[in-house]
Chains A and B, each alone.
Chain A
């Protein structure tokens, strides 16, 4: 197992190096000039724009800029944000906890609920329960997250008054201690529910299909033929094998969860990394964007690594290959 983990770990390094090069090239290839955006109030002069370009080092050839970026990166320095004039690392770390709270909670919730519903649907295959669950999940899958978020706000905040509309804390209040934690929890409900609801169909569909497939496998028939009770066959053998694909989807899906979270963060004014990224895109804040993309590349790579490890634990054939 140890060798397996180190092999997987080593494979992450070239992925991250490649992402560093690609991120830099793609960002600089995109149209837009941070100097113009920075100067872009009402009345910039060409001299002003040129001065900004020079002060940001954007007047230098691209290979020189890349070399400087890589050199700083090698020393663990993600650089300074053009717009915030603060270290990129600090800016990301200020917002990462909020995003992790949102994404991890919703992903775990979606995995649990989606898988459970998938199992139920597979067991009741062809019956009204299966049809109802399948229909609801297809409907959910088709709804864009930002729209769903707005509908949730209108229903649960404006009409029913049960939950706050947006933010992470009540701006009007100065809660501390457990009351503050409760306040965050109340604010967390709607964004987490929104983000979880759009992920549930993914786990539902995979689990349902996977369980149905496993139940038709020869080994399951053999177990049944030997007289092992059906619940035991299902829980001990069929279900365990059926869950393997969900583990893969969970790991690989984390990258998409970050993307989806950006939209939800905007609708619910959740102070996470998605909003920071969007603002950086509009401002063409290259250092900040490169930093965010690098952190995401590392996060997704680590998630994939963890998935592989969990997969290997669940299925010994993997690590033996």
Chain B
């Protein structure tokens, strides 16, 4: 989401920062892949028969807002996302460390010219109505997404021209240009496979199956009580390992404080935690707590079309006046880290460690503003309007801290707090100086073009640098990761030099769950977290 905290998975699903998978924990695809987005990925040999299912227990999860439908591809819906991850499969998924792992695919291979990607499918995968999953489903879904401009992922995988189906279990993506980021985006949002035999020839936005979905995932849809709950049950014909739970139910609880009380009361088994609640749950043996940092930094977007922000020295002075440690300590209550890179450090391979923000230096910032022709007039040099939005307390607190920090170099900040859609409209119209925001920047550095590419919808700063655009095109066209890195590193150097944005902090988000639960996808101490994609409860078990 443009600005939400963790973005689509913008919202509620904090995950934990975790160490690398321990060697010997299992031959996961992530380990085979080694690093993100190689030219090929080979998973374990697919099972020749459906693994046996031993089911026990019902886990109650929670979402804050009811899903708008159960069709995960035609429009973005952060609240359907965690449910869809268990009902459906995408071709690939992202594990807890943002590595690409296979989901419905067993592997892929990029052609030497980079213009096609051959994807092999799980041979035993079936839809919940018993129909086998075939390449025709992949063809329908991906072509439908690409051809529907309203679809969330349409612009992300626009390099896909068509999908060939040489056999039932092989789909070949035909690309209009080499695009290394396609695989990453096919692991992400709005790219769940849909059953062609249900959707083909119908309006996918209003198809009846949108209210009673037929997926291929580890859990099947049972019922939906509007505004109350969603009930799923184990898919005993699931092609892979798991599920282990008889049922998965989502209780819809909008208020985070009520979620916490429901968790304490044993009414639900898993909930996100407001930061203030972390110590309480960490000291409670009935619960486990997991934290995670998403590649979703809080940053200041600067309006380059407004004076004096069109002056790079002014932008640099602002960057020098920001004390990130103080923001972490106060606005985030210590639950986060300073973000000093121009691509989040969380996706380490793509983050240039040498392209960083200027050092904190108040005297230097004041001197820079003096020499740039903005002398102090009394206590102030000039005023700037900073827009931020409701519903994200830490962001609001960061705004207050920034106002104080920038006052130290004679910049008066007028804080303007708006409801999200109003904020989005005003920033989109260019009526602002600084926008305080966040937003998911993964899973691939190609995402840099979305926020800073010339004319891009999320580039509200008016940053236009043909050299930057060109580097991103070259980065996406290169086929191996080694070849891609230099382009993205150079692009980040340009951002560090031009400063259309000032990265601030990375927030750690937390969730707590009953200690009877194991195999939770975001529990970094649990090997299962490297074997399943985000939000997937495929390997989760409940004891007792």
Q: Using CB atoms and an 8 Å cutoff, list the residues of chain A in contact with chain B.
A: 30-33, 36-52, 55, 83-86, 91, 94-95, 98, 146, 150, 153-154, 157-158, 161, 164-172, 266-269, 271-272, 275-276, 279, 282-284
Shortest CB–CB separation between residue A245 and chain B, in angstroms? 35
B504: min CB distance to chain A, Å: 19
By beta carbon, the residue of chain B nearest A45 is: B155
CB atoms of A157 and B420 under 8 A apart = no
Known contacts A45-B155, A84-B69, A150-B257: A40-B1 contact under CB 8 Å: yes
- Chain B residues near A46 (CB-CB < 8 A): 455, 457
Q: Are A168 and B228 in contact (CB under 8 A)?
A: yes
CB of B176, distance to nearest CB on chain A (Å): 16
Which residue on chain B has the smallest CB distance to residue A51? B149
Encoded as 1 (CB less than 8 Å from any A CB) or 0, chain B from 41 to 55 comes to: 000000000000000
B421 and A158 form a contact (CB under 8 A): no
Selected from B262, B267, B421, the residue in CB contact (under 8 A) with A36 is B421
Residues of chain B contacted by A38 (CB below 8 angstroms): 75-76, 150
Residues of chain B whose beta carbon lies under 8 Å from any beta carbon of chain A? 1-2, 7-8, 10, 58, 60, 65-66, 68-69, 75-76, 149-152, 154-156, 189-190, 205-206, 210-211, 225-229, 249, 251-255, 257-258, 261-262, 264-265, 267-268, 418-422, 424-426, 428, 439-440, 447, 450, 455-458
Q: Which residues of A contact B447 (CB under 8 A)?
A: 42-43
The answer to whether B457 touches A48 (Cβ under 8 A) is yes
Decide: B225 and A48 in contact? CB cutoff 8 A: no
Measured in the bound complex, the distance between the Cα atoms of B206 and A43 in whole Å is 24
Give the residues in chain B near A48, CB-CB below 8 Å.
149-151, 154-155, 457
Q: Is the beta-carbon distance between A85 and B258 smaller than 8 angstroms?
A: no
- Contact between B68 and A83 (Cβ–Cβ < 8 Å)? yes
Contact check, A165 vs B210: say whether CB atoms are below 8 A apart: no
In the complex formed, the residue of B with least CB distance to A55 is B150
Q: A266 — nearest CB in chain B belongs to which residue?
A: B254
B255 touching A85, Cβ below 8 Å: no
A116 to B422, CA, bound (A): 46
25 A/B residue pairs, CB under 8 Å, sorted by A: A36-B425, A39-B76, A39-B457, A41-B1, A41-B190, A42-B2, A42-B450, A43-B458, A45-B456, A48-B154, A48-B155, A85-B69, A98-B227, A150-B261, A153-B261, A157-B261, A166-B261, A166-B262, A167-B252, A170-B267, A266-B254, A267-B257, A275-B227, A275-B254, A282-B419
- B227 close to A172 (CB less than 8 A): no
Residue from the set A39, A47, A269 with the largest chain B CB neighbour count within 10 Å = A269
Which of A154, A168, A271 has the most chain B CB atoms closer than 10 A to its own CB? A271
| Shortest beta-carbon contacts, A-B, top 10 | A271-B227, A32-B421, A41-B76, A51-B149, A31-B422, A45-B155, A269-B253, A171-B251, A43-B450, A83-B68
Which residues from chain B contact A50 at a C-beta distance below 8 Å? 149
B358 → chain A closest CB, angstroms: 28
In Å, the complex CA distance between A266 and B255 comes to 6
Sample of 11 more A-B contacts, CB < 8 Å, known A31-B418, A40-B424, A153-B257: A32-B424, A38-B76, A39-B457, A40-B2, A45-B149, A83-B68, A86-B211, A153-B261, A165-B261, A165-B262, A267-B255
A42, B69: Cβ atoms closer than 8 Å: no
CA distance in complex: A157, B456 (Å) = 49
Complex contact B450–A269 (CB within 8 A): no
- Residues of A within 8 Å of B457, CB to CB, are 39, 43-46, 48-49
> Once the chains bind, are A94 and B226 in contact (CB under 8 Å)?
yes
Whether B420 contacts A282 by the Cβ 8 Å rule is yes
State whether B156 touches A161 (Cβ < 8 A): no
What is the minimal beta-carbon distance from B426 to any residue of chain A, in angstroms?
A: 6
Which residues of B sit under 8 angstroms from A55, Cβ to Cβ? Answer: 150
Partner of B439, one of A42, A49, A164, A169: A42
| A-side contacts of B206, CB under 8 Å | 85
Q: Specify the chain B residue showing the minimal Cβ separation from A285.
A: B68
Q: Which residues of B contact A47 (CB under 8 A)?
A: 149, 155
Give Cα A161–Cα B267 distance, bound, in whole angstroms.
11
Complex partner residue of B228 from A40, A84, A164, A171, CB under 8 angstroms: A171
Closest chain-A Cβ to B211's Cβ sits at a distance in Å of 8
Q: Is the CB of A165 within 8 A of B76?
A: no
Question: Could you say which residues of chain B place their CB within 8 Å of the CB of A45?
Answer: 149, 155, 456-457
Complex interface: chain A residues within 8 A of B229 (CB): 167, 169, 171
Which chain A residues border B76 with CB–CB below 8 Å?
38-41
| Pair B249/A172 contact, Cβ less than 8 Å | yes
Q: Which residues of A contact B428 (CB under 8 A)?
A: 33, 36
| Min CB–CB distance B292 → chain A (angstroms) | 17
Residue of A nearest to B76 (CB): A41
| A84–B66 alpha-carbon span in the complex (Å) | 10
The chain A residue sitting closest to B79, CB to CB, is: A279
Distance between Cα atoms of A171 and B230 in the complex (Å): 9
**A-side contacts of B262, CB under 8 Å:** 165-166
A284–B422 alpha-carbon span in the complex (Å):
10
A42 touches B421 (CB 8 A): no
A184 to B458, CA, bound (A): 46
The residues of B that contact A161 with a CB separation of less than 8 Å are: 265
A36 and B424 contact, Cβ closer than 8 Å, known pairs A85-B69, A167-B253, A269-B253: yes
Residues from chain B with a CB closer than 8 A to the CB of A271 are 225-228, 252
> Of A30, A85, A86, A279, which one neighbours B65 at CB under 8 angstroms?
A279
Closest chain-B Cβ to A79's Cβ sits at a distance in Å of: 14
B428's nearest neighbour on chain A, judged by CB, is A36
Residues of A within 8 A of B251 (CB): 166-167, 171, 269
A-chain residues with CB within 8 Å of residue B68 when the two chains form the complex: 83-85
Rounded to whole Å, the gap between the CB of B86 and the closest CB of chain A is 16
A169 to B228, CA, bound (A): 8
The residue in chain A whose Cβ has the minimal distance to the Cβ of B185 is: A43
Closest to A98 in B: B227
Q: Tell me the complex Cα distance, A157–B260, Å.
A: 12
**A279 and B66 form a contact (CB under 8 A):** yes
Q: Given contacts A41-B152, A171-B60, is CB(A165)–CB(B227) below 8 Å?
A: no
Nearest Cβ on chain A to B373's Cβ, whole angstroms: 35
CA distance A279 to B428 in the complex (A): 22
Please measure, in the bound complex, the distance between the C-alpha atom of A51 and the C-alpha atom of B60, giving whole angstroms. Answer: 38
A240 to B532, CA, bound (A): 69
**Bound form: Cα–Cα A273–B394 in Å:** 29
B350 smallest CB distance to A (angstroms): 16
Which A residues touch B421, using CB under 8 A? 31-33, 36-37, 282-284
> Which residues from A are CB-within-8-Å of B267?
164-167, 170-172
Minimum CB–CB distance for B516 against chain A, Å? 13
A165 and B265 form a contact (CB under 8 A): yes
**Cα separation A84 to B226 with both chains bound (whole Å):** 11
Provide the residues of chain B in CB contact with A39, threshold 8 Å. 76, 150, 152, 457
- In the complex, what's the smallest C-beta–C-beta distance from A283 to chain B, in angstroms? 8
CB atoms of B228 and A43 under 8 A apart: no
User: In the complex, which residues of chain A have a beta carbon less than 8 angstroms from the beta carbon of B425?
Assistant: 31-33, 36
Chain A's nearest CB lies how many Å from the CB of B387? 12
Q: In the complex, which residues of chain B have a beta carbon less than 8 angstroms from the beta carbon of A284?
A: 421
Contacts of B264 in A (CB 8 A): 158
Q: Across the two chains, which residue of chain A brings its CB closest to B2?
A: A40
Q: Please name the residue on chain A nearest to B456 by beta carbon.
A: A45
Residues of B within 8 A of A150 (CB): 255, 257-258, 261
Chain A residues in 8 Å Cβ range of B10: 41-42
Beta-carbon nearest neighbor of A284 in chain B = B421
- B-side contacts of A98, CB under 8 Å: 227
Q: Which of B8, B58, B258, B420 contacts A42 (CB 8 A)?
A: B8
A contact residues around B155 at 8 Å (CB):
43-45, 47-48
CA of A158 to CA of B265, assembled, Å:
6
Alpha-carbon distance A44/B3, docked complex (angstroms): 12
